[in-house]
Structure 1
Amino acid sequence: MNKEKRQKIFEILRNENPNPTTELEYSSPFELLISVILSAQATDVGVNKATSKLYPVANTPEAIYELGVDGLKEYIKTIGLFNSKAANVIKTCKMLIEEHQSEVPQTREALEALPGVGRKTANVVLNTAFKQPTMAVDTHIFRVSNRTGIAKGKDVVEVEKRLLKFVPKEFLMDAHHWLILHGRYTCVARKPRCGSCLIEDLCEFKQKTE
């Protein structure tokens, strides 16, 4: 895909949604971090449902740590993998208290050292909470990038690197939100909704649907 096409694609996505953001509900970097940890292999809707009960009761590292693993499980048991997630969140809260003065760190290395935080989670937090131009490649972004031709790659790290290289700088801050939303609602996995896609004529996917 050439530079001009990418420019046009992101101009269209920006015009449609000038201020995209995550669909996770949060009111602090810490809440965002916990929500993203909980969202692995779960829906944002499911996570929001659980955290809408959790955060009014406990929304600081100290308060959640105080709940303990069993106490936290009561709030998040509707979310997939809740046992391991509860253990990771409690360990993460302990590390934040002991090593980061209860603040969410603003570097990839420090974030990835937290239990339950991988590269994708770190990228979401860096981008959404701290306005760093990172690219959190999930299954939606991986699919959209490869399918459209915006940035092809055989694994998520390769797609991430190519997106950072190829997405025009003016769009880098918001690009991952646009691509996630596009993959979630239009360029869906089984049968993409090409007929209602704003960028259909710019997309290089060969097997377009009606």
Structure 2
Amino acid sequence: MNKQKRLEIFQRLAEAIPEPETELNYSTPFELLIAVILSAQATDKGVNIATDKLFPVANTPEAIYALGEEGLKEYIKTIGLFNTKGANIIKTCKMLIELHNSQVPDNRKDLEALPGVGRKTANVVLNTAFGHPTMAVDTHIFRVSNRTKLAPGKNVLEVEQKLLKNVPKEYIIPAHHLLILHGRYTCTARKPRCGACCIYDLCEYKEKTA
């Protein structure tokens, strides 16, 4: 896939998705961090149901830490792996209070040192909360990148590195959400909605549907 085709793909996606934003509900970098930790192997809708009840009660490291694991679990027990996630969130809050003046760090090293925060979560927070040119490759981005041949790769790190290299500079910040939303609603897993796709003629997927 050449440079001009990649540019055209992102121009069309940006036109079709004029407000490429996360579908997780949040109002601060800390709320986003907690929501993203909870979103692993869970839907954004399911996370929002939990955080819409949690955040009005506790939306700072001190407030959530004060709930304790048992108190926090009452709010997140509908989410998969809530026991592990709850324990990690409490530990993360403690570290934020003790090491970062209760602020979410805006660098990868400190973010990935927090319990429950891996490379993908760090990339989401850096991109969405702080506007860094990062690419959090989830299942949607991995699928779209490989299907379209925009950035084919055998694993998420390979796809991430190719996207960072190949995405036009003017779209590097919104590209994360443009690709996620395109994958979530158009280039779906079981059967892509090729007939409703704005980049149908640019996509190099060999098994396009009518």
Scaled by the length of structure 1, the TM-score of the pair is 0.99
Three-state SS of the structure 2 residue aligned to 1:123 is: helix
CA distance in 2, matches of 1:14, 1:143: 19
CA deviation profile, 1:152-186 (whole Å, cap 9, x unmatched): 11100000000000000000000010000011011
Count of residues in correspondence between the two structures: 210
Q: Deviations over 1:43-67 (max 9, x none)?
A: 0000000000000000000000000
Counterpart CA distance in 2 for 1:197 and 1:18 is 15
Question: Does residue 8 of structure 2 align to residue 4 of structure 1?
Answer: no
> What displacement does 1:200 show?
0.5
* Counterpart residue number, 2:127: 127
1:146 is matched with 146
> What SS does structure 1 have at the residue aligned with 2:130?
coil
- Counterpart position of 1:190: 190
Distance 2:96 2:7 in 1: 40
Task: Summarize the alignment of residues 57-206 of structure 1 with structure 2, pairs less than 5 Å apart.
Answer: 57-206=57-206
Q: What percent identity do the matched residue pairs reach?
A: 75
Match for residue 15 of structure 2?
15
- Mapped to 1, the partners of 2:20 and 2:55 lie a distance apart of 23
Letter in 1 for 2:173: M
What is the distance in 2 between the residues matched to 1:11 and 1:52? 34
Q: Partners in 2 of 1:172 and 1:102 — Cα distance?
A: 29
Distance in structure 1 (CA, Å) of the matches to 2:158 and 2:44: 25
1:72, CA displacement in angstroms?
A: 0.3
CA distance in 2, matches of 1:190, 1:95: 41
AA at the equivalent of 1:84? T
Could you tell me the TM-score, scaled by structure 2's length?
0.99
Whole-Å separation in 2 of the counterparts to 1:193 and 1:137: 21
- SS for the counterpart of 1:129 is helix
| Code of the aligned partner of 1:169 | K
- Take 1:85 and 1:2, find their aligned partners in 2: how far apart are those partners? 42
Deviating above 2 A after TM superposition, structure 1's stretches of 4 or more consecutive aligned residues are: none
Amino acid at match of 1:51: T
- In the other structure, the counterpart of 1:36 is 36
Q: What is the alpha-carbon root mean square deviation over aligned residues?
A: 0.5
Partner of 2:195, secondary structure, is helix
Shift of 1:17: 2.0
- Return the alpha-carbon distance in structure 2 between the equivalents of residues 124 and 161 of structure 1: 15
- Structure 2 CA distance for aligned equivalents of residues 41 and 193 of structure 1: 24
Letter of the 1:120 partner, please give it: K
Aligned-partner residue type, residue 110 of structure 2:
A
User: Which range moved further: 16-25 or 59-68?
Assistant: 16-25
Q: Distance in 1 between matches of 2:183 and 2:16?
A: 15
How far did residue 18 of structure 1 move?
2.6
| Residues 119-159 of structure 1 deviation map (CA, whole Å, 9 limit, x = unaligned) | 00000000000011100000100000000010011100000
Deviation at 1:16, TM superposition (A): 1.7
Aligned residue identity for 1:111: L
Give ranges in structure 1 of 5+ residues lacking alignment: none
